[in-house]
């Protein structure tokens, strides 16, 4: 019995040491990139957070000291060294700006430059496969007068294929962005009634330049 007690006394510290080693050897990963207020102004010296498991709750990733507050530098760059907390993450600055960031094992990722107030340019074109009649009306947003009291444009039939409108520097309204995917914004339109609403998708990288326009195709058939 005495020998058994000595054995237990000797093995207990070793077991505890093994637990402590396991805890101290937790893997930390790196997420870095640059955040911009707009095309020219960095998101400088601001608080950012990273959540785990694509959670919109308070399940934030922490650093080696248990902190979950991280900051950009004066040029908007950041480098987060975090402990794994799930496989997919959401970046907050301060609202959610990017989702489905891979934060699993062995992830050391540079997400590049992310614009927090992106703008897009697009041309709205009508592809009329059916003309309809003067009793039909196509309704879509006036993207050059978003703040007006009558934000819709109404076009009476019959319809023919044509360019309907050109929108410049429209604020991107579909945050958060999905990691690895170009920003997309839906341009809605409908014929006859709102219950018949359809969407034309605009895909464009931010800060593409004043002369770069994507096409939003309204299809009537």
Do 126 and 98 share a structural domain? no
Can the peptide bond before residue 33 be classed as cis, meaning omega within 30 degrees of 0? no
Q: Is residue 7 part of a domain?
A: no
- Residue 150 corresponds to which tokens in the numbers above? 């009558």
In a domain, 17, yes or no: no
Question: What tens digit of pLDDT does each residue of 141-184 get?
Answer: 998 887 665 578 999 999 999 999 998 888 887 789 999 888 88
Helix (H) or strand (E) holding 209: none
CATH of the domain at 123: 2.60.40
DSSP string across 115-130: ETT-EEEEEEEEEESS
pLDDT digits (tens, 9 = 90+) for 7-63: 444 444 434 333 332 344 567 899 999 999 988 899 999 999 998 876 655 688 888
What are residue 138's DSSP bridge partners? 155, 191
Determine, yes or no, domain membership for 11: no
Q: Which residue has the higher pLDDT, 2 or 93?
A: 93
Q: Are residues 152 and 183 in the same domain?
A: yes
Residue ending a domain, choose from 94, 115, 136: 115
Domain that holds residue 76: 26-115
Q: How many domains does the chain have?
A: 2
């Amino acid at each position: 019995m005495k020998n058994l007690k000595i054995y237990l006394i000797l093995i207990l510290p070793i077991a505890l040491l093994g637990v402590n080693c396991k805890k101290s050897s937790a893997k930390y990963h790196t997420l870095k990139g640059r955040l911009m207020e707009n095309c020219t102004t960095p998101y400088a010296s601001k608080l950012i957070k990273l959540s785990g498991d694509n959670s919109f709750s308070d399940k934030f990733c922490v650093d080696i000291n248990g902190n979950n507050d991280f900051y950009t530098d004066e040029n908007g760059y950041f480098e987060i060294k975090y402990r794994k907390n799930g496989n997919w993450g959401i970046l907050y600055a301060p609202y959610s700006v990017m989702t489905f960031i891979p934060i699993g094992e062995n992830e050391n990722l540079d997400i590049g430059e992310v614009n927090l107030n992106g703008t897009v340019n697009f041309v709205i074109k009508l592809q009329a496969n059916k003309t309809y009649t003067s009793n039909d009306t196509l309704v879509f947003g006036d993207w050059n007068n978003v703040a007006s009291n009558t934000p819709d444009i109404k076009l009476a039939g019959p319809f023919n294929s044509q360019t309907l409108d050109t929108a410049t520097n429209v604020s991107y309204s579909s945050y958060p962005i999905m990691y690895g995917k170009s920003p997309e914004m839906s341009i809605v339109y409908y014929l006859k009634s709102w219950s018949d609403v359809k969407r034309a998708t605009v895909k464009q990288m931010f800060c593409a330049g004043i002369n770069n326009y994507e096409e939003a195709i309204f299809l009537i058939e």
